[in-house]
A and B are shown apart, each in its own frame.
Chain A
Amino acid sequence: MELRVTESSENELSIEIGGEDHTFMNVLKGALLEHDDVSAATYDMNPEQSGGQTDPILTVKTIDGVDPLDALEAGAATVREKTSALREAFEAA
C-alpha cells in the first residue's frame, strides 16, 4: 500500500492510496464518518478524470485540534476492530 499526500493542512488531508479500490475505500470512508472528530470524509476514484490515474484519493476533514492523520489512523483501527468482531461472530455461528 503506497501512500502519497497530495494536500495537507491543519484540519484537512488529501492522500492517495495506491492499489486500492471501492472495496476498501468505501469501508474506510464509512468507518471514518463514524468518528465524531471527523467532520467530512470522502474519496475520489478517478480524480479530475485525469488521464489514466485511478488510484483513489481520500480526503479527510477534522474538527479543530485534531490531526487528520491521527483521525485516519483511528479510522483504519476501526475497520480492523470491525473485521475482527465480524470474524468472531461468524466463527461462533
Chain B
Amino acid sequence: MAPAYDVEFVEREERKARFLVRGVTPAFANGIRRAMVADVPTMAIDEVRFIENSSVMFDEQIALRMGLIPLTTPPEGEFVEGDTVTLAIDVEGPGTAYSGDFVSSDELVKPADLNVPIIDLKDGQRLEAEADAAMDRGKSHARHQGGVAVGYRHLQRVEVVGDRDQFEDEEPHIVRGVIEDDGELVPTSEFDHDLTVRYPGKEVRIEDVPNAFVFHVETDGSFSVEELVTRAIDSLEQRARELEDAVQL
C-alpha cells in the first residue's frame, strides 16, 4: 500500500525552493521538516588552532565566527560523521579577513560564500590560524544545520462564491503562502498577499486543502535544496530500516 505522493515545484533555485507535496500526512510532513533542520549532517569548523591573533577579538570569539561560516558538504558517501578537513587562513591588516581567505586541504569542503567577514584588521594586526572542519548534525550545534529556513503551510484553495455587497467597504484580505485557483498554483506574492487585488469586488472563500503542504526550503549553501530534501528523507528511511531490523531479531 505505497502511498501516492505528488510533488510540484512552485519556485526553484539552487538554495531556495518552494514545492507542493500532495498526499502527505501532517506527522510525516513534520518529520521531514525536522529531519532537514536537525538531522542532515553538514561540515563546519569545530576546532581552531591559532598561530597568531593580534586582532581586537579573543581567539574564542573568532573561532565561533569561523564555526558559523557555511562550508560546502561533500556528496553522500565521501565523508562520515567524525571525519575532518583542515582549512588555513592567513590575513594581515589593514583589511578585512573574509571566509574566502580560507585555503582548504580538500576541494570538496570550502566556504560556500566567499564574502562572509570574519574580522576587520587594522594596520599591523594579523590573523593566522588552522581550522578543522568536522561533519556533524544540526542537533548538536547550529553550525551544522544545513537547512536555515525550513517550513511548510497548507495549500489553500480559493473559490469565488459571489460578488461583494455593493456598499461594503473594501478591506484587504491577507493570505500568505500558495493558493490553488482552479488547479493553478499561485504564490500569494504575485498579488501582494491580498486577495482583493486578485479578485476585486468578489466574495471569496478559502479553505485548507487536506494533506497538501507547501514546503519552503532554504539552505545555507552547504548543498542544494534537492540534496537537503533527499538526505532528510534518507535519514528517516534509514531509521525506519534500523528499527525494522532491530525488531526482527
B242: chain A residues at CB < 8 Å are 1
Q: Which residue from B4, B19, B28 sits with its C-beta under 8 Å from A30?
A: B28
Bound together, the chains give a CA A23 to CA B2 distance in angstroms of 21
Q: Tell yes or no: A84 within 8 A of B by CB.
A: yes
Main SS of the interface on chain A? Answer: helix
Q: Which residue from B3, B21, B230 sits with its C-beta under 8 Å from A91?
A: B230
Bound together, the chains give a CA A29 to CA B236 distance in angstroms of 13
Residue of A76, A78, A84, A92 with highest tally of chain B CB at under 10 A: A76
Considering only residues 233-248 of chain B, those with a C-beta below 8 Å from chain A are: 233-234, 236-237, 239-244, 246-248
Considering only residues 4-26 of chain B, those with a C-beta below 8 Å from chain A are: 4-9, 19, 21, 24-26
Q: How far is the CB of A59 from chain B (nearest CB, A)?
A: 15
Q: How far is the CB of B56 from chain A (nearest CB, A)?
A: 40
**Contact between B243 and A85, CB atoms less than 8 A apart:** no
Using A24-B236, A93-B19 as known contacts, say yes or no to A86 and B5 having CB atoms under 8 A apart: yes
Q: Tell yes or no: A57 within 8 A of B by CB.
A: no
Q: Which residue from B1, B2, B7 sits with its C-beta under 8 Å from A90?
A: B7
Which of B30-38, B81-89, B151-159, B196-204 lies on the face that meets chain A?
Answer: B30-38
Residue interface bits A2-33, CB-to-B below 8 A is 1, else 0: 01000000000000010011111011111100
Using A23-B39, A73-B244 as known contacts, say yes or no to A89 and B7 having CB atoms under 8 A apart: yes
Q: Tell yes or no: B229 within 8 A of A by CB.
A: yes
A29: chain B residues at CB < 8 Å are 27
Considering only residues 55-109 of chain B, those with a C-beta below 8 Å from chain A are: none
Main SS of the interface on chain B? Answer: helix
Q: Which residue from A28, A87, A88, A93 sits with its C-beta under 8 Å from B243?
A: A28
Chain A interface residue count, Cβ-Cβ cutoff 8 angstroms: 35
Bound together, the chains give a CA A86 to CA B234 distance in angstroms of 10
Q: List 26 A-B contacts (CB under 8 A).
A: A1-B246, A3-B243, A17-B243, A21-B139, A22-B34, A23-B31, A23-B39, A26-B31, A27-B236, A69-B247, A73-B248, A76-B240, A77-B240, A79-B237, A80-B240, A80-B241, A83-B240, A84-B2, A85-B2, A85-B3, A85-B4, A87-B233, A87-B234, A89-B6, A90-B7, A90-B21
